[in-house]
Structure 1
Amino acid sequence: MKSQVEKIARKPFLRNVAVMATGTAMAQVIYMALSPLITRIYGPEAYGLLGAFLAIVMIIGPVAALTYPFAIVLPRKSEEVQGLMQISFMISIGSAFTLAWILLCFYDLIIKWFNLAHLSSFLFLLPLVALFSGMLQIAESWLIRTKQFKITAKVTVVQALVIQGSMVLIGLYYPDASILIILTTLALVFKAAMMIWFSDNSFLKLMEMPRKIPELKIVAAKYKDFPVFRAPEVFLDAITLGVPVLLLANFFGPASAGFYSIGYTVLSVPAQLIGKSVGDVFYPRISDAKNNGENMTKLIKEATFYLGAAGIFPYIIVIAFGPWLFSFVFGEAWWTAGEYARWMALWMYFRFLNSACLTALPALSAQAFLLGSTIIFLIAKISAFLIGLYIFSSAIAAIIIAAVVEAILEIMFLLITLYISKKRDETN
């Protein structure tokens, strides 16, 4: 038994996952330790405003660099890596300036069209979000490519301590939603700066050494699948996740959006703790398997099995005891959040289960499938929520319908991904 454990511990994949998971676990411990204080200090309405702002950040941030940073892990040649990093940086700057110009020219219309009066004071933080989201994606992808997982883990812990601690300390004197929103924006700046600071000198050298525009065009064209397929997919997926918060805020007020937001945040803990750690390590591993002609289906199945085993217990606990857990941990005002969470857990478990599949799709050259499936998810989720809100006039009905529909779609996504992988293995 001891020899088997030692054999598993020596596997680079599991060892790297352990490093990432340890850092994320420490960050989540900090978050969970301070969250009961934060929820009691600020209350559901402040969390609702933060959730609505985050819904916009989740839409803008991931596509700030048109997902070119996701490709940094793939190339064999360092010249292509450098090109992708510089392309990503230039696009991020362009996105920030474009967003600032749009806000300056159409500020009043945006507030009116999207019913964002409750967030009007914070919209000019969005160009900063775009710029540093791009920088953060570049730094994260570089650290994944170079397998500097310890740096990522360390920065994740420090960020959680500084940002969550600041929310508590400042909130004791000024418990306003603006503090949560501003600190959440600064978290992107802080994390990107920390990752760049702790990374080896080769990162800055690659960013500083200019490459000629024709060379960058060649690299951009080679990896055009990312802006053509992955960027729209990420954008639509963010809308899928963010729309419920905005709909609940508009139909039932910020408090209802706050209940949903805290439920989603808590249920995302396994995804952040294990799913993202597995994904960050699995991405270069599946890319290597593709380049070396290994069996990718076997790797995906193994990763999915481990994810399923790791996630089943916490999600079942929330399904069984959600309202009592939330009211005990976060305060009596958050009972409804637990009721939301027990239904959200149904589809979020299967979303968590699909972390390996989602990570593998670029290596499978199946980003068109990913885009198509995301469009289906978006239509299904919005339709489910609108049925619940308009026909049943109930937030919980909307959440239940959406949870059941999305759980079914996530299972189908898993089966189709395995089919694609099997076909790809057969052709190799």
Structure 2
Amino acid sequence: MLNFIKRLTRSKFARNIAIVATGTAGAQAIAMAFSPFITRIYGPEIFGAMGTFIAILEVISPLAALSYPMAMVLPKHDSDAKGLAAISLCIALVTSCLAALTLILFKTPIVNALNLHSIETFILIIPVTMFVSVLTTISSQWTIRKKLFSLKAKSAVFQALTINILKTGLGLLNPSAFILVSTTSFGYLLQAALIGIGIRAHTQERTKREKSNFAFAGLLKAYKDFAYFRTPQALLNSIGQSLPILMLANLFNPTAVGFYVLARTVLFVPSILIGTSVAEVFYPKFVEVIHQGKSGKELLLKTCLSLAIVGSIPYLVLIMFGPWLFSLIFGSDWQEAGEYSRWMSIWLFFVLITRPIISAIPALSLQGLFLAFEAVSTLVRIAAILIGYYWTNSALSAVIAFSLSNVIIYTALTILIIRKT
């Protein structure tokens, strides 16, 4: 055991995970520290409006740059990665303008069809945030490529502190859905700016400026599987994950959406803190192993098993004491969100375990397979929510059915990808 701990502390892979995890932990700690104040300022209905906004954004965001930013880690040469960044920005500008034009021309029928009345007055923030989110993704992928994990960690902490201060301060003046949504959207821009400043400083200190003679057409063709397969897959996944919010808004009310949004926010903390940190370090390491012509199966299995061991603790606590903890921390109005959290914890435990599985898919060139899998999964999720709704006509039943369907989906995905590896 002592030898294992010594090897772990000497491992660069483990140290990089620790750096990312420290930054993510700091950001999440700040968010959780402010949460008891924010939930008492805004209330479930306003949280529901914000959740609806984020759900719409998450659904259309995969179309923003056709997933080309995700390919930036793969090229051997930095010039190609910069080319992919430029392509991503061009595509994002076009898609964001198209989204804005669509909302301007068809705002009323879209709002009525999807029951988006709670965000109708500020719905045009969506295309702006859509473009800014691409800037954030590009800067984030570059830090992963160059292994600037310390920079990413510092920017995450500063961004979380700034945004939560704004949410609290502005909320005391005007506790509205607009304030909550606009500060959340500003967070994307702030994160991209912080990382961009750090990258520029690092480039000036460490490297010489180089001219990039990339061919746009060649890069578009070389990484077309991200547009053809990863984008539809990400779109379907976003639809699947946003389904509870959109369907709860239509079948029930904004308050039910608010309960779900808070529960998901809290339950995603272990996944973001541990899973994202591991995945961001795992991805370039796994790509390196594949480039060397080796099998990444052992690395994949070890990473998933480690996440299962670490992640079991926080989720077991939430399964056992969820309602009591939510009522104590966020106020008595949020006890129902604690009931949601018990069942959602089972699902999000499996999300945590499969973070390396999903990260490995591009490197294994399994985008097409993943797309087909995601299409089937989306249908399963829709069916599960409807079964839960018609079963007892309660929002909790819909959440339970959705959570259990995700357990089946992620278990099947894990078995499938490990076998392909």
Q: Same fold (TM over 0.5)?
A: yes
Determine the C-alpha separation between the residues in 2 that align with 1:319 and 1:51: 23
2:196 matches 1:230: no
Counterpart amino acid of residue 64 in structure 1: A
Contact 1:64 1:131 in 2 (8 A): yes
* Paired position in structure 2 for 1:117: 117
Contact 1:73 1:141 in 2 (8 A): yes
**Percent of pairs identical after alignment?**
37
* Paired position in structure 2 for 1:355: 355
Q: Map 1:250-329 to 2 at 5 A.
A: 250-329=250-329
TM-score (normalised: structure 1): 0.94
Unaligned runs of 5+ in 1: 422-428
Contact 2:27 2:160 in 1 (8 A): yes
* Paired position in structure 2 for 1:159: 159
Q: Deviations over 1:117-142 (max 9, x none)?
A: 22111211012112111111110101
Determine the C-alpha separation between the residues in 2 that align with 1:3 and 1:357: 28
Which range moves more in the overlay, 90-99 or 195-204? 195-204
Contact 2:52 2:116 in 1 (8 A): no
Superposition deviation, residue 404 in structure 1: 1.7
Q: Deviations over 1:252-307 (max 9, x none)?
A: 21110000000111110011101001111111000000001223000100100111
Superposition deviation, residue 211 in structure 1: 5.3
Contact 1:92 1:135 in 2 (8 A): no
Superposition deviation, residue 112 in structure 1: 2.2
* Paired position in structure 1 for 2:337: 337
Determine the C-alpha separation between the residues in 1 that align with 2:404 and 2:140: 34
Aligned pair count reads: 419
Contact 1:326 1:337 in 2 (8 A): yes
Q: Deviations over 1:331-383 (max 9, x none)?
A: 00001000011011111111111001000011111111211221122111111
Partner SS, residue 121 of structure 2: coil
* Paired position in structure 2 for 1:377: 377
Supply the RMSD in Å over aligned alpha carbons. Answer: 1.9
Determine the C-alpha separation between the residues in 2 that align with 1:64 and 1:96: 7
* Paired position in structure 2 for 1:27: 27
TM-score (normalised: structure 2): 0.96
* Paired position in structure 2 for 1:169: 169
Over 3 Å counting, the alpha-carbon distance change for 1:322 and 1:202 in structure 2 is: closer
Superposition deviation, residue 23 in structure 1: 0.4
* Paired position in structure 2 for 1:182: 182
Over 3 Å counting, the alpha-carbon distance change for 1:231 and 1:30 in structure 2 is: same
Superposition deviation, residue 20 in structure 1: 0.2
Q: Deviations over 1:286-331 (max 9, x none)?
A: 0000001223000100100111011001111111111111101100
Contact 1:142 1:203 in 2 (8 A): no
Partner SS, residue 76 of structure 1: coil
Contact 2:155 2:194 in 1 (8 A): yes
Counterpart amino acid of residue 251 in structure 1: L
* Paired position in structure 1 for 2:97: 97
Contact 1:62 1:134 in 2 (8 A): no
* Paired position in structure 1 for 2:11: 11
Determine the C-alpha separation between the residues in 1 that align with 2:104 and 2:403: 38
Contact 2:384 2:398 in 1 (8 A): yes
Counterpart amino acid of residue 240 in structure 2: T
Unaligned runs of 5+ in 2: none
Over 3 Å counting, the alpha-carbon distance change for 1:309 and 1:167 in structure 2 is: same
Counterpart amino acid of residue 415 in structure 1: I
Over 3 Å counting, the alpha-carbon distance change for 1:289 and 1:62 in structure 2 is: same
Partner SS, residue 270 of structure 2: helix
Determine the C-alpha separation between the residues in 2 that align with 1:233 and 1:207: 36
Determine the C-alpha separation between the residues in 1 that align with 2:382 and 2:291: 39
